[in-house]
Copies of this chain bind each other. A is one copy, B any other.
């Protein structure tokens, strides 16, 4: 299919681009007044996420405001466990809650991988409407939480600071945790395949919490399942192949293994230097990242200076592809103009590395 701007996809495929493309995790979010207006109309976060019309509206908002190089489907990683019947809700000030948690033999046995076209049909409908609204301007990214990250919410019954219940299960009943991860692996694979079928042009797996594990446990309980997903996606072939991006927050100690995961690109947070990541992964993959999100609270000069540091750290493109991003999502208190400054600087400054 034709795209007016396919810079993002070319960078993921490590092909020549004119500049470093940029999109931002949580680019459609609470820092944008137009997002808050749509959310008010929708009544609740789940009202927003489950309506294809509202999801389309907020997905387009940041790409209408800034010359971003990719749009990302507006949704939540917890829609998958919700579709498993765990009943997700968002309590104001407390974050996500499931009315059912998965902590014992019985609840693990009751788990099933939902049919995404049935239980998550609203997401696929949103993908179709967004593609139509984008009309070939830029690519659309689909996404899912990783099996392990979803499992933490399912076991804890919501957000947690210490992952006590998840780790209790991991150390006391690793067999139970593996059963949950097996189901999640199938569910995420089906879900991402349905998104690809519906029209997303790249997919990203968010492993927000894999970084709480030991090195060996990360490989066994998180990366292994992500690799299985990468191998099972219907990504097509050649020029039309849908690139896969893996992102584990706090993965600085495991770069080498991530580079061999089979994904086209690895997202890294700001604690990892991009030069060092290129070396550790031997330029086998494209890299996505990795400005500290807190930079967006700084002055215009600082934002420009810190963005240049990230681009300089990646350095000459050569055999590598770089997609600029933050190391984590845009904070709700960021001023919208700061995002505009960042996009502008990345587009302008990076040209010298793409001659």
User: Contact residues of A with B, CB < 8 Å?
Assistant: 162-164, 167-168, 171-172, 211-218, 250, 252-255, 270-273, 276, 290, 292, 294-295, 297-299, 302, 306, 309, 313, 331
Q: Chain B residues with Cβ under 8 A from A298's Cβ?
A: 168, 171-172
6 new A-B contacts at CB < 8 Å, known A213-B271, A215-B271, A253-B272: A164-B294, A167-B294, A167-B297, A171-B302, A214-B270, A218-B271
Q: Chain B residues with Cβ under 8 A from A292's Cβ?
A: 167, 213-214, 217
Among the listed B216, B294, B313, which residue makes an inter-chain contact with A309, where contact means beta carbons less than 8 Å apart? Answer: B216
Q: Chain B residues with Cβ under 8 A from A216's Cβ?
A: 273, 309, 313
Q: Chain B residues with Cβ under 8 A from A276's Cβ?
A: 215, 253
A322 to chain B, nearest CB (A): 16
Q: Chain B residues with Cβ under 8 A from A271's Cβ?
A: 211-215, 218, 250, 253
A276 to chain B, nearest CB (A): 7
Residue pairs across A and B with Cβ atoms less than 8 A apart, 15 shown, are A162-B294, A162-B331, A163-B294, A164-B294, A168-B294, A171-B294, A171-B298, A211-B271, A214-B270, A214-B273, A214-B292, A215-B273, A216-B309, A216-B313, A252-B252
A44 to chain B, nearest CB (A): 24
A163 to B331, alpha carbons, bound, how many Å? Answer: 13
Where chain A touches its partner, the secondary structure class is: helix
Nearest 6 pairs between A and B by C-beta?
A: A252-B253, A171-B298, A167-B294, A215-B273, A252-B252, A214-B270
A159 to chain B, nearest CB (A): 12
A186 to chain B, nearest CB (A): 27
Smallest Cβ-Cβ distance to A306: which chain B residue: B171
Smallest Cβ-Cβ distance to A305: which chain B residue: B171
So how many copies of this chain end up in the complex? 2
A228 to chain B, nearest CB (A): 22
A167 to B292, alpha carbons, bound, how many Å? Answer: 9
A254 to B217, alpha carbons, bound, how many Å? Answer: 21
A4 to chain B, nearest CB (A): 34
B214 and A172 contacting across the interface, CB-CB below 8 Å: no
Q: Which of A216, A272, A294 has the most CB of B within 10 A?
A: A294
Q: Chain B residues with Cβ under 8 A from A255's Cβ?
A: 253
A172 and B273 contacting across the interface, CB-CB below 8 Å: no
A170 to chain B, nearest CB (A): 8
A309 to B164, alpha carbons, bound, how many Å? Answer: 20
- Given A163-B294, A253-B252, A297-B164, verify A272-B171 contact (CB < 8 Å): no
Smallest Cβ-Cβ distance to A167: which chain B residue: B294
Smallest Cβ-Cβ distance to A255: which chain B residue: B253
A132 to chain B, nearest CB (A): 38
Q: Which of A214, A255, A294, A297 has the most CB of B within 10 A?
A: A214
B172 and A299 contacting across the interface, CB-CB below 8 Å: yes
A313 to chain B, nearest CB (A): 8
Q: Chain B residues with Cβ under 8 A from A215's Cβ?
A: 271-273, 276
Q: Chain B residues with Cβ under 8 A from A168's Cβ?
A: 294, 297-298
B253 and A171 contacting across the interface, CB-CB below 8 Å: no
Q: Which of A254, A271, A272 has the most CB of B within 10 A?
A: A271
Q: Chain B residues with Cβ under 8 A from A252's Cβ?
A: 250, 252-254
A137 to chain B, nearest CB (A): 32
A276 to B215, alpha carbons, bound, how many Å? Answer: 10
A268 to B309, alpha carbons, bound, how many Å? Answer: 28
